[in-house]
Amino acid sequence: MITPDLRAYAPHQLLTEPARPSAQLWRVIVGFILIMIVMYGLLRSILFLCEQALGEQAAIIMMDALNHADTPWAMLSLLGLMGLMGLSTFVIAETVHGRSAISLLGPMPLALGQFWHVFRVLVPLGVGVQILTMGQPVVPGLAFDAWLPLFPIALIALLIQTGSEEILFRGYLQPALATRFKHPLVWLLIPSVIFALGHHSDETYGANAWMVTAWAMVFGMLAGDLTARSGTLGPAIAFHLANNLFAITVTALAGDMSGLALRHIPIAADNLALRPLLYVDFAVMIISWLAARLALRR
């Protein structure tokens, strides 16, 4: 799946060289912990301000809505709050590592061009997958006339969410580890395992939890592979955004995190009946990764 040929990863130096002067392992570990602390502190501060402005009871209702994210504005708010991850990573890059925050993304003109090359290939692919799977049982979600004006806002919110995750895992952790470990499997696997564990939830997914976690780990490694091949976060963000765009705004599981979807799949996240769909998702993920690699060769 991931080539061990280091020559294919030569562009990765565009991200690793800016990281090298301050990529001591102790500093990276401390930096990651501080990112989590800063992110949590910012989140708690926002929630505290909301409680002061709205009152305790309204704040409790708001928190419950965010936990379920089964309404459009709750889902948009949840995605937007993920921006705190990217912001915290930028702050720690500047303060702990003494490097430009923007260097986490790679050269911007190149990153933007690569993002577009990949995204414009993956969106039609996603549309094709949606058409091919139209026969699966679904129930209506948002009405189209309510969904359409929210779509541009959802796209921006998803860009914030996916971009923030890629900045931390593929922009901050992966290049720093690559300066200390030669073998790609080390610096691809470690950020992907942490990324996957962040998606693990026995409470939500039940018997499917470890399969979902495995999906997230493979996804992280594929995103890392695209990052190493391109030297920027552009392709990984496009890969992540295209995946989440269809999974969140077009066809989502009914229940939690379904607030922006046009269609709902009436299967609980912890139901074993979900597994065939997860196998399909695995296949689509691999095809999307291969399509992204082809797009980068143009």
For the record, the structure tokens of 48 come out as 């505290």
Distance separating alpha carbons of residues 87 and 225, to the nearest angstrom: 24
pLDDT in tens, 204-252: 899 999 999 999 999 999 999 999 999 999 999 999 999 999 999 999 9
The reported pTM is 0.95
Average pLDDT over residues 260-266: 95
Average pLDDT over residues 67-85: 95
CB of 111 closer than 8 Å to CB of 296: no
**Neighbouring-strand partners of residue 140:** 263
Report domain extents, the chain: 6-296
CB of 108 closer than 8 Å to CB of 274: no
Position 1 confidence tier, pLDDT thresholds 50, 70, 90: very low
Average pLDDT taken over every residue of the chain? 94
For the record, the structure tokens of 111 come out as 């990153």
Residues in contact with 152: Cβ distance below 8 Å, sequence separation at least 6, in sequence order: none
User: What are the CA-CA distances from residue 169 to residues 55, 149, 190, 223 (Å)?
Assistant: 36, 32, 9, 10
AA identity, residue 130: Q
Q: What is the Cα 97 distance to its own chain's centre?
A: 24
Distance separating alpha carbons of residues 154 and 77, to the nearest angstrom: 10
User: What are the CA-CA distances from residue 247 to residues 151, 215, 226, 250, 277 (Å)?
Assistant: 13, 14, 21, 6, 12
Half-sphere exposure of 256 (CA within 13 A, CB side): 12
Average pLDDT over residues 131-137: 84
pLDDT in tens, 148-181: 999 999 999 999 999 999 999 999 999 999 999 9
- pLDDT tops 70 at residue 5: no
Q: Which residue has the higher pLDDT, 285 or 136?
A: 285
pLDDT in tens, 49-75: 998 998 988 888 989 999 999 999 999
Give Dmax over CA atoms of the chain in angstroms: 58
- Specify the pLDDT at position 172: 98
Half-sphere exposure of 39 (CA within 13 A, CB side): 21
